[in-house]
């Protein structure tokens, strides 16, 4: 590979990392594509080889956060040392810790604004189908050990995620998320018939 040839995956990752830094420093709305390419040390045209719009790089940043979330949630929901109810509680704690991560706050606020619903929906379309099986399995484990009483673990998983989406739709500020998630966890356990 010549010195001027750059691996496409590495270049894209550099642009996403630069966008993440700039969003954390300046905020999503105040960050321009020019800011991102300057931080990445590339020409503006290079950005458009990888992303069609600023929205696309925002989704890439959010996608990386989603991967971190899925890894953390998968670890917590798969912990055999915890009961199914404790595993669902740990799911809420992972979401709470992410909502309190200052490097993600502006991106989270941005993606949850009503005017950015299309961006949020694109993110959800990719994220939720991967999350549902993790929650479904936890609920099925609870049904199997008698700690939950629901007829359909998959429907219950979708119901839980719909409830979490309702927290967002209600306009809950990021600062209010921990309390809202805690209350949602209590409601989830009652809904599942937790003993």
**In whole angstroms, what is the distance from residue 120 CA to residue 71 CA?**
20
In this structure, the number of other CB atoms found within 10 A of the CB of residue 4 comes to: 5
- Mind listing the pLDDT tens digit for each residue in 12-70? 999 999 998 898 888 888 899 999 999 999 999 999 999 999 989 988 988 887 888 78
The structure's pTM equals 0.76
The first and second tokens of residue 142, run together, are: 């609870």
- Mind listing the pLDDT tens digit for each residue in 96-151? 777 677 666 677 777 777 777 777 787 788 888 889 999 999 999 999 999 999 99
Task: Count how many Cα atoms sit within 13 Å of the Cα of residue 11 in the half-sphere of its side chain.
Answer: 17
């Amino acid at each position: 590979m010549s010195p001027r040839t750059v691996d496409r995956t590495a270049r894209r990752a550099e642009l996403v990392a630069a966008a993440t830094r700039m969003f954390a420093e300046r905020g999503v709305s105040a960050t321009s594509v020019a800011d991102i390419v300057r931080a990445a040390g590339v020409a503006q045209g290079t950005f458009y080889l990888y992303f069609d719009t600023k929205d696309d790089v925002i989704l890439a940043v959010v996608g990386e956060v989603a991967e971190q979330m899925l890894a953390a949630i998968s670890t917590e929901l798969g912990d055999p040392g915890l009961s199914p109810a404790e595993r669902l509680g740990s799911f809420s704690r992972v979401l709470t810790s992410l909502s309190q991560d200052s490097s993600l706050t502006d991106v989270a606020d941005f993606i949850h604004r009503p005017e950015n619903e299309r961006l949020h929906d694109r993110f959800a379309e990719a994220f939720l189908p991967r999350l549902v099986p993790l929650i479904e399995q936890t609920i099925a484990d609870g049904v199997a050990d008698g700690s939950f009483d629901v007829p359909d673990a998959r429907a219950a998983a979708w119901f839980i995620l719909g409830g979490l989406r309702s927290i967002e739709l209600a306009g809950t500020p990021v600062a209010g998320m921990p309390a809202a998630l805690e209350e949602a966890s209590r409601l989830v356990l009652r809904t599942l018939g937790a003993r």
